[in-house]
């Protein structure tokens, strides 16, 4: 595998880059047909490009047939390597643009989910200001869990991320943006829904089935501190709402996101004075290599939008 990659990189051409971009699109779309719209080329052309890349690399990248589309083990490794390579090329373009004092290029950012209803979050204002300053820069915005955002920023796949603060990494720079209030909720069919808060204690809460995020986060830290063992593991907060609506689970949500469901009588807070915490949100970027002027500008836009 290492010898094959070394041979390819030793004679990397524009054609290789084009094939790698096609492969990335296919992998992210989940198949040839699904990638047609993204690439604006026919399935037969996509198939030929993937075959050409497999010949160049000397490995089979994916399986396709009646069983559906799936990356091989080698394909998954090549996909991760492709993301890093293309991110490095984009960083190079950004540095060249810096030399010429031009704000052109491409930036990928990743955001944690369900921030849009938080009145303290001014991501939209930051994007508006950035577009005023750098109208020729194109953006990709991804919604991802905390661990994926951190890993993507460290690897260079994302140039910036916005996440709940939890633990610091020495390879990342952090900037405070805003906070949100978290409460513990249950659904209208749950036994605690009609139980007065005064009758609910820690033991009663611990006896409930708990829906929590499955990666290191403030949510996980608070759940562990209360002795809540996850009976169901989720990767985003919308999934927690589904669990609450089932009437079988309790779980934490941001107050701004839970507000509509509370007003509709679908969920309620449980002892809000006791079972609550505040969550700080931060912007993150790599310390090294030094961010390009474009990324630094977006970083400053985020800071200014949340300065109040």
Kindly report, residue by residue over 51-102, the tens digit of the pLDDT. Answer: 888 888 888 998 887 777 889 999 899 988 888 888 777 777 767 766 656 6
Kindly report, residue by residue over 208-242, the tens digit of the pLDDT. Answer: 999 998 888 889 899 999 999 999 999 889 999 99
What integer pLDDT is reported at residue 104 of this predicted model?
Answer: 75
pLDDT at 132 over 70: yes
**Cα-based distances in Å from 134 to 111, 281, 292:** 20, 25, 13
Peptide bond just before 299 cis, omega within 30 deg: no
pLDDT at 3 over 80: no
Local structure of residue 211 (DSSP, 8 states): E
What integer pLDDT is reported at residue 6 of this predicted model?
Answer: 46
pLDDT at 288 over 60: yes
Which whole number is the average pLDDT over 272-276? 96
C-alpha–C-alpha distance, residues 255 and 191, integer Å: 21
67 contact partners, CB below 8 Å, separation of at least 6: none
Kindly report, residue by residue over 136-155, the tens digit of the pLDDT. Answer: 999 999 999 899 999 899 98
What integer pLDDT is reported at residue 172 of this predicted model?
Answer: 94
Local structure of residue 195 (DSSP, 8 states): S
Q: Whole-model pTM?
A: 0.70
Q: Please state, rounded to an integer, the average pLDDT across all residues of the chain.
A: 89
C-alpha–C-alpha distance, residues 46 and 185, integer Å: 48
Backbone angles phi, psi at 106, to 5 degrees: -140, 140
Q: What residue ranges define each of the domains in the chain, with the CATH number in brackets?
A: 2-83 (1.10.10.10), 86-178+281-305 (3.40.190.10), 179-279 (3.40.190.290)
Q: Tell me which of 242 and 40 has the higher pLDDT.
A: 242
């Amino acid at each position: 595998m290492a010898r094959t990659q070394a041979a390819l990189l030793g004679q990397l051409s524009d054609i290789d880059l084009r094939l790698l971009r096609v492969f990335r699109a296919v992998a992210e779309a989940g198949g040839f047909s699904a990638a047609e719209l993204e690439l604006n080329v026919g399935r037969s052309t996509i198939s030929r490009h993937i075959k050409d890349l497999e010949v160049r690399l000397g490995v089979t990248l994916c399986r396709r047939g009646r069983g559906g589309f799936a990356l091989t083990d080698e394909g998954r490794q090549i996909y991760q390597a492709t993301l890093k390579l293309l991110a490095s090329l984009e960083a190079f373009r950004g540095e060249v643009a810096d030399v010429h004092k031009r704000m052109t290029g491409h930036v990928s950012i990743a955001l944690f989910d369900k921030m849009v209803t938080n009145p303290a979050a001014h991501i939209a204002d930051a994007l508006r200001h950035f577009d005023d300053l750098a109208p020729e820069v194109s953006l990709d915005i991804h919604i991802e869990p905390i661990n994926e955002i951190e890993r993507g920023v460290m690897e260079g796949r994302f140039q910036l991320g916005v996440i709940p603060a939890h633990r610091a990494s020495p390879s990342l720079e952090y900037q405070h943006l805003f906070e949100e209030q978290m409460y513990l909720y249950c659904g209208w069919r749950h036994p605690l829904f009609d139980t007065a808060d005064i009758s609910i204690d820690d033991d009663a809460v611990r006896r409930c089935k708990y829906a929590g995020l499955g990666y290191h986060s403030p949510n996980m830290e608070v759940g562990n501190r209360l002795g809540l063992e996850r009976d169901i593991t989720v990767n985003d907060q919308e999934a927690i709402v589904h669990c609450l609506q089932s009437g079988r689970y309790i779980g934490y949500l941001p107050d701004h996101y839970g507000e509509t469901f509370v007003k509709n009588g679908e969920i309620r807070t449980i002892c809000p004075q006791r079972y609550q915490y505040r969550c700080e949100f931060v912007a993150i970027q790599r310390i090294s290599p030094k961010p390009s002027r474009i990324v630094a500008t977006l970083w400053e836009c985020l800071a200014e939008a949340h300065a109040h």
